[in-house]
Amino acid sequence: MADEDFPPPVRLMNFVSEEQLAQLKNTRGARVEDGTAQRDRPLFEILKENKDKKDAEFNERFKHRPPKALDEDETEFLDKLEMSRREYEKQVADEEAEQLRSFQVAVAAKSTIVKEIKEMPPIPKVQVSLFSRSCLDKSTEFIMLMVCSFLATALSASRPMR
pLDDT at 76 over 60: yes
3, part of any domain: no
4, part of any domain: no
Say whether both 40 and 79 belong to one domain.
no
Say whether both 128 and 147 belong to one domain.
yes
Q: What angle do CA 117, 101, 159 make, to 5 degrees?
A: 20
Distance, CA of 21 to CA of 130 (rounded, Å): 136
Q: Give mean pLDDT, residues 31-57.
A: 82
28, part of any domain: yes
Q: What is the pLDDT of residue 120?
A: 66
Prediction pTM value:
0.33
Of residues 145 and 2, more confidently modeled: 145
Q: Could you list the residue range(s) of the whole structural domain that residue 114 is in?
A: 71-120
